[in-house]
Amino acid sequence: MSATGSLPRMLLVGGSGGVVGRAVLPEFLPTHRIRSVHRHRVSAETTAGVEWVPADIGRVEDWRPLLEDVDVVVNLAWHRWGNTTRFRRLGGGLERLVDAARQVDAPRFLHVSVPEAPATLERGLPYLTYKRRLDRTLVESGLSYRIVRPTMLFARGDRLLGVMLRLMHRYPLFPMFGSGRYHVSPIASVDLAAILHREAGLSQVGTVDAGGPTRFEYRDLTDRMFGLLGKRPRYWHLGPRGSVALAQLLQDLGSTAIYAYEVEWLLADLLGLAPYEGLDRPLTPLEPYLRAEASRLLGHARTAVEGPSRWRE
Ligand SMILES: NC(=O)c1ccc[n+]([C@@H]2O[C@H](COP(=O)([O-])OP(=O)(O)OC[C@H]3O[C@@H](n4cnc5c(N)ncnc54)[C@H](OP(=O)(O)O)[C@@H]3O)[C@@H](O)[C@H]2O)c1
């Protein structure tokens, strides 16, 4: 544990370069000294004086030196797509981290996972097989742990809602997967960071799902997004099978816009999670972010944005 009188030390695994990490950094900086493990340099970390440990997590054999003086571990690292080898290696490195944490001073351990997925994906997709294996390792570790499972996240530069808006802006038709009558409750990455900060200070053990403040019907949300772009909604209607096949084709062609498993997950209606309860402020609404993104695409961000300043950066 860190020396008395100084700020507690956090080991951030997965770094501040990703969607969640970019929000975690400003959230924890006022209260923690941060040691951050990931591969690529992040200028915000350098500026903030974060101790960066350049490493591929899958290749870290002994985590004990990195856990020295650490009070809380926050793990964000995962890949959005990859084969078995890729996930086995990353998962193996993270399991060694859990094991090392047990051997040292047993810091509070926060891990970001994903919500329940359709059974076929849970069984057959390396992305999920190794994620769940890691989740179980933590549950059985005896550590003071918390697994936070957010639904789809939104933030400047996100890879879901922001990409959807860009596609709607650019093309005459937007694919509508199945009926569109399933649900999503996007949560801001800044809210996930605040949740992690809160959970770091608690001793409660277990898994918590985290949705944003509003549960939208998907089709209603896409209609609204078209509206923000000043366009009438126009869809290319696809049945469930055709939807997955289209995503698979795009994936096979090398696109990272959407993966077939993400469409299956959406269609299974498992992503409309209830709002996380426990923050001392309301969860961030989605609409100001969408408005800001749409305005940026339309080229008049300065006049049209009414949302919080963070969406204008
Ligand atoms: N985005 C979402 O909508 C969403 C929803 C639910 C749950 N989640 C979960 O939230 C967590 C964070 O997601 P994110 O969207 O922020 O991911 P992200 O943008 O892809 O960021 C992942 C971070 O992990 C690091 N990383 C990946 N592989 C690594 C390796 N082998 N060694 C060292 N560092 C590695 C990357 O840094 P370097 O490239 O510098 O190594 C990057 O900073 C993930 O566990 C994800 O499954 C995300």
pLDDT digits (tens, 9 = 90+) for 290-303: 999 999 999 964 44
The finding on whether 194 has its CB within 6 A of some atom of ligand 1 is no
Report the percent of the chain where pLDDT is more than 90: 92
Q: At the topology level of CATH, where does 9-143 sit? A: Rossmann fold (3.40.50)
pLDDT band for 310, please (50, 70, 90 cuts): low
Residue 269, pLDDT score:
98
Instruction: Name which residue sits closest to atom 25 of ligand 1, judged by CA.
Output: 14
pLDDT digits (tens, 9 = 90+) for 135-175: 999 999 999 999 999 999 999 989 899 999 999 999 999 99
Ligand 1 center to 54 CA (angstroms): 15
The finding on whether 110 has its CB within 6 A of some atom of ligand 1 is no
Ligand 1 center to 234 CA (angstroms): 33
The finding on whether 96 has its CB within 6 A of some atom of ligand 1 is no
pLDDT digits (tens, 9 = 90+) for 187-222: 999 999 999 999 999 999 999 999 999 999 999 999
Position 5 pLDDT exceeds 90: no
pLDDT digits (tens, 9 = 90+) for 101-114: 999 988 999 999 99
From the number of C-beta atoms within 10 Å of its C-beta (0-12, 13-18, 19+), residue 312 rates as: middle
Residue 312, pLDDT score:
41
pLDDT band for 179, please (50, 70, 90 cuts): very high
The finding on whether 229 has its CB within 6 A of some atom of ligand 1 is no
Rounded CA gap, 165 and 233, in Å?
Answer: 12
pTM above 0.85, yes or no: yes
Residue 299, pLDDT score:
93
Residue 169, pLDDT score:
97
What average pLDDT does the segment 36-62 reach?
A: 97
Please choose, from the candidates 89, 80, 143, the residue with its C-alpha nearest in 3D space to the C-alpha of residue 111.
Answer: 143
Residue 6, pLDDT score:
85
Position 3 pLDDT exceeds 60: no
Provide the H-helix boundaries in the chain: 19-28, 43-48, 84-103, 119-124, 126-139, 161-170, 189-200, 218-228, 240-252, 260-267, 287-298, 301-304
Ligand 1 center to 149 CA (angstroms): 13
Report the percent of the chain where pLDDT is more than 70: 94
Rounded CA gap, 136 and 114, in Å?
Answer: 13
- What is the chain's length? 313
pLDDT digits (tens, 9 = 90+) for 272-283: 999 999 999 999
